[in-house]
Structure 1
Amino acid sequence: MAMTDEELFLASMGDVTPLAHDNQAELSKIKAQPTISQLEKRKAAEQELTFDVNFLSTEYVDLLDPYDLMTFKRQGVQEGVFKKLRLGKYQIDATIDLHGKRFNEARKTLFEFILDCHNNNIRVLLLRHGIGLKSKPTPAILKSYINKWLQEVPQVLCFHSALRCHGGSGSTYVLLKKNDEQKTQTKEIYAKR
């Protein structure tokens, strides 16, 4: 009768004795330094974990024509206030030029600019974004995203494409809400009457 594989293994290993623990070789306890690629992976993972406070959308947007006017008004904004903005009758307090900026850079710059202006009591802005005739692969990409982004920012009351003297459809007037300090000052002024 033939032996099974297990029986053959046990028969061949019958004279083998296990090593005693004191006969084991001691491994070096030197800690290996991480490689450059491991450091890069760790850095990338840490950056993913940081929370991006910029809530401006990066999703698909309906594209505007380069010569389209941009206009938006939140509910509650008085028609006279919007008309005055639309006609460029407010003093422009701050201007930013987003011409030629890449998508992510323009998104970050616009977000930080609006929050900074709001925190510093600046209410009327002029955004220079261009009409986007030369943008690739399709025209007016940045202009279309700015139209969407401005509607997403709660501090923006209304906006409208600028007059020709301020850049026409390649620029936009923006009116921001009053910050808490301005609201308090307004209440004090009207309380004294």
Structure 2
Amino acid sequence: MQNDEAELFLQEMSGVKPLSQDAVLPEQGDFNPTLAQQARRKAAEQEMEYDPNYLSMEYVDLVKPEEPFTYKKDGVQDGVYRNLRLGKYQLDATLNLLGKSLSDARRELFYFIEDCHKRGIRTLLINHGMGRNSKPHPAILRSYVFKWLPQIPVVLACNTAQKQHGGYSATYVLLQKNAEQKRENRELHSKRGAQK
């Protein structure tokens, strides 16, 4: 039986010539990844990119177009909040989000507030519109703005604007002092204490 198998094997191998060299040589040229590999690498790199914008695009509680917005962090004095609510502070900067997509509005609001805080601007007006005709639900952008503002640590208080500043289509925002303003405030109070 073994002779039959050996004879069969030799018959099959009769036309095979031995290799002149049996060492495996490295492939010549550069390795080029396939398109699928390139796409996977790009997707992985984008996932690893750090996005400092922490404002959530998750579920939002929908508000009505005429629903007032009020927000105040603990520690904000009632008189300060009342003046903000009544529109008594000078508005130092305005952001217009009308007609923006949610992702654009999210990005612009985040960087606008970050920039204003760095520059020491404290009282802002955000124009978001009432959203009566927004689809698929009324006041979608307005609802997200109401959700996002309290998520930003430097936002001390917010309130629906007075009629002359846009009413329900706009929101007043009060930011905390930046590090430089806090330092100046401490110096001012320490000088007053030293004069007494």
- Give 1:141's aligned amino acid: I
Structure 2 CA distance for aligned equivalents of residues 177 and 126 of structure 1? 15
SS in 1 for 2:21: helix
CA deviation vs aligned residue, 1:136-158 (integer Å, no higher than 9, x gap): 10010110011010010010000
Structure 1 CA distance for aligned equivalents of residues 10 and 36 of structure 2? 48
Task: Report the TM-score when normalising by structure 2.
Answer: 0.86
CA deviation vs aligned residue, 1:55-80 (integer Å, no higher than 9, x gap): 10111011000111111000111000
Structure 2 CA distance for aligned equivalents of residues 107 and 7 of structure 1? 81
Match of 1:106 in 2: 105
Match of 1:49 in 2: 48
For residues 2-151 of structure 1, the aligned pairs below 5 Å read 12-14=8-10, 16=13, 19-20=18-19, 22=21, 29-31=28-30, 33-34=32-33, 39-151=38-150
SS in 2 for 1:62: coil
SS in 1 for 2:89: coil
Residue 38 of structure 1: how far off its partner (Å): 5.2
Residue 30 of structure 1: how far off its partner (Å): 2.5
Task: Report the TM-score when normalising by structure 1.
Answer: 0.87
Residue 12 of structure 1: how far off its partner (Å): 2.9
Count of aligned positions:
189
SS in 1 for 2:74: coil
**RMSD (Å), alpha carbons:** 2.7
* Structure 1: 5+ residue stretches without partners: none
Match of 1:157 in 2: 156
* Structure 2: 5+ residue stretches without partners: none
Identity %: 47
